[in-house]
Chains A and B, each alone.
Chain A
């Protein structure tokens, strides 16, 4: 089978190679999955470049956090899946390969539906649920405010918040995405401003002065501080990404006068608070919503394995150059 293999740290084009490996044979309790689609995340790129704290434990390795595929072989003792079943492998199975061999006990059944959209559920879906549930007690009618609102996570949050009766005020950089986010269920979509006070005023107007307990920041840099300005006194700002590549910067006057709490978020932490049944229940629901088309993401491009270097270059770009997620189709 063909697979991508990371052999060092650096420019993805230099350190990730397309290799041919022996087809895997499932051991007892394992299954082999033929991958249909595998999402590329910014974290994959960070793993390749080897940025601080994104260095993986051992090289060489097959990258890929998530994806969707169909079972082609089952090992001895596997009863929950049969050949042909559509499944999601668990986190970090190494999905940038034609075939993935993995223990069956964590693999989850997947619905029929658009493989490209479903290939994004695992990481962004769980992150969105954790962000909505773990940091503030949101009641129906409450508002939350988020930046990077055209990101996949943020788009999931728009839909999941709406389902709970929670309204979203969404900050974007490009006016072109406003209509799409509104169609998705965004209650308010506003343009970003470099001036925190101007932005906060726009947010205040869009939310009719409602109390904003929760601000979600996936941009970092000065955007973290702008988010602190937007939330209400005593509010919490949760950072879960750093699209800007800059450390989060929060002005003293927001920390002090407004008693802001600023925290980081990781899906691993949120998942550790939930047992496996709860996690599976979350995924079952997310998968159904995505399959039905209720949660949909803009797809910037799909690439076969032999164009992985192009795919990674595309995934590392932002704004108009990458209008959505980049997906690998390992068997295309």
Chain B
């Protein structure tokens, strides 16, 4: 069985290798899953590179944080699933491989539908739900959410999930070519980043009619964070959940001191039980299967092409144009 194994921290081509591992066996309570599609994330690269704050593995390890597959064998005592059922794999289970054995209890059930799209449910989907439902819980219909990196898969989910709740979104992107696309997804406003927090804030103000913006989602970091802070009202909250720039979040003293803007780190450890999470996954999966939540897919790769996939993942903007999906079984 083929798998992408990481042996150290460093450049992907130097520290990862496609290896042939013994076929996994489902022990009691486990299911053997054939992986259909596994989403690649920026974090996968950070984990491979061993960036500061992303070094907590013992080696060797199998890469890949999420995915979808179907059950091909049941371990003793498994009653929740039968062979042929589709399941989401647990976060961080090492999904860049053909098959893996995992505890049945850790796998939420998945739906029928496009495996490439559904492969994004567990991380990007849940992130969007946590941001809209938990961090923006205080908003009333008609209120605005501000976000940057709005063309990311998470950003696109947020547009849709917010729209469904009657919330409006003001979306900051880097490329004007994205405006019609995001508007078609029900984005209320789409602004092109100017690179200057004050100027972008002026555009946001004009786009939202000067209403008070109490919350902004930041997946860009660097001056992207500062820009969100500049746009927010007194006591507003910036929720950071990514750092596309690879740089630190920046917040200016004026926004901290004069406006009491708060910067919080978003947590995947939302206060949801396993059963509540299953409900969320089921709702997301249904929306994704129906096409209501749709990510742009930049490319799909097999495990044999995984180094090309990792190099593609390292690119941004026009050079990537969406998510990279690994199809471990072709």
List the interface of chain A (C-beta within 8 A of B). Answer: 52-53, 196-197, 220, 222, 224-225, 239-240, 242, 247-266, 269
Contact = CB atoms under 8 A, between A and B. Distances in A.
Contacts of B242: 252, 256
Contact of B251 (A53, A247, A257): A247
Nearest to A255: B265
Contacts of A197: 52
B129 interface: no
A249 B253 contact: no
Interface in B234-259: 240-243, 247-259
A222 B53 contact: no
Contacts of A250: 248-249, 251, 263
Contacts of B248: 222, 225, 249-252
B279 interface: no
A222 B52 CA distance: 14
A259 B269 CA distance: 9
B54 interface: yes
B265 A254 contact: yes
B241 A256 contact: yes
User: Which A-B residue pairs are the 8 nearest by beta carbons?
Assistant: A253-B53, A264-B256, A255-B265, A252-B243, A249-B248, A262-B263, A53-B254, A242-B253
A257 B51 CA distance: 13
16 contacts: A242-B253, A247-B226, A248-B256, A249-B249, A250-B248, A252-B249, A253-B53, A254-B265, A256-B240, A258-B265, A261-B262, A263-B262, A264-B258, A265-B256, A266-B257, A269-B260
Contacts of A247: 226, 250-253
A251 B264 contact: no
B264 A261 contact: yes
Given A252-B242, A256-B240, A256-B265, A263 B260 contact: yes
B89 interface: no
A232 to B, nearest CB: 13
A255 B257 contact: no
Contacts of A256: 240-242, 265-267
A260 B254 CA distance: 20
B308 to A, nearest CB: 26
A263 B256 contact: yes
Nearest to A264: B256
Contact of B257 (A251, A253, A254, A265): A265
B261 interface: yes
A256 B263 CA distance: 11
B255 A264 contact: yes
Q: Which of A197, A247, A263 has the most CB of B within 10 A?
A: A247
Contacts of B255: 264
B267 A262 contact: no
A265 B252 CA distance: 12
A258 to B, nearest CB: 7
A151 to B, nearest CB: 15
Contacts of B240: 252, 255-256
Nearest to A195: B52
Interface string B142-166: 0000000000000000000000000
Contact of A266 (B241, B252, B260, B267): B260
B221 interface: yes
Contacts of B249: 249-252, 255, 262
What DSSP secondary structure best describes chain A's contact surface? Answer: mixed
A221 to B, nearest CB: 9
Nearest to A237: B263
A265 B257 CA distance: 6
Contacts of B256: 239, 248, 263-265
Contacts of B254: 52-53
Contacts of B261: 264
Contacts of A254: 53, 265
B220 to A, nearest CB: 10
Nearest to A260: B265
A224 B259 CA distance: 18
A264 B253 contact: yes
Nearest to A257: B53
Nearest to A245: B253
Nearest to B56: A257
A237 to B, nearest CB: 9
Given A251-B53, A251-B248, A263-B262, 14 more contacts: A196-B52, A225-B248, A239-B257, A251-B249, A253-B52, A255-B249, A255-B264, A256-B267, A259-B264, A260-B265, A262-B263, A264-B251, A264-B258, A264-B260
A262 B253 contact: no
B71 to A, nearest CB: 32
A248 B253 contact: yes
Contacts of B265: 254-261
Interface string B34-65: 00000000000000000111100000000000
Contacts of B243: 251-252
B240 to A, nearest CB: 4
A224 B53 CA distance: 16
Nearest to B258: A53
Nearest to B250: A247
Interface in B251-293: 251-267, 269
A253 B267 contact: no
A239 B264 contact: no
A240 B257 CA distance: 7
B127 to A, nearest CB: 10
A327 to B, nearest CB: 24
Nearest to A234: B267
Interface in B176-206: none
Contacts of B221: 252
Given A250-B249, A252-B249, A261 B263 contact: yes
Contact of B262 (A253, A262, A269): A262
A260 to B, nearest CB: 5
Identify which of B52, B247, B255, B263 gathers the most chain A CB atoms within 10 Å of its CB. B263
Contacts of A258: 265
A250 B269 CA distance: 20
